[in-house]
Amino acid sequence: MKKIIFYLLILNLLSLNSVMSQNFSQLEIKIFKNIRCLVCQGQSIADSNSDFAQTIKSVVSDKISQGKNEKEIYNFLSSKYGDWIVYKPSLNIPNLMLWVIPYLFVIFGVMFFLKNLRKKRQNK
């Protein structure tokens, strides 16, 4: 049993995420995790070793070394592949409802909860 656990541990270490095995900065890893691998099934480029993921990682690293910030990199990739490539939707007019409505919903929910609570206390 101990042997099996040992081999499993070794296997686990060997199959460490591709991103961890290379020397990427924290910013690079953060951006990789937020970019969708377009040729994979539900994976970010951080999780993928596909040809596409490798190329985009390399482009992102180049952009960072050129002094581009995170937002500029997302904008660049969105302009080439559409908003779909970025996991976190950008805050723009078409996406505004998706950003604002959940907050409104929470605010109204809290108001509803507090109002009910107050009523219950008054009834007691």
Compare residues 30 and 119 and give the one whose CB is closer to other proteins.
119
Phi-psi region of 42 (alpha: psi -120 to 50; beta: other; left: phi over 0): left
Q: Which amino acid is at 112?
A: F
Rounded to 5 degrees, what are φ and ψ at 36?
-75, 135
- Provide the minimum distance between the beta carbon of 52 and other proteins in the complex, in angstroms, as a whole number: 5
Q: Which of 4, 13, 51, 65 binds other proteins (CB under 8 A)?
A: 51
Q: Which of 56, 64, 73, 86 binds other proteins (CB under 8 A)?
A: 56
- Provide the minimum distance between the beta carbon of 116 and other proteins in the complex, in angstroms, as a whole number: 7
Residues 100-119 that bind other proteins (CB under 8 A): 101-102, 104-105, 108-109, 112, 115-116, 119
Distance CA 43, CA 61 (A): 19
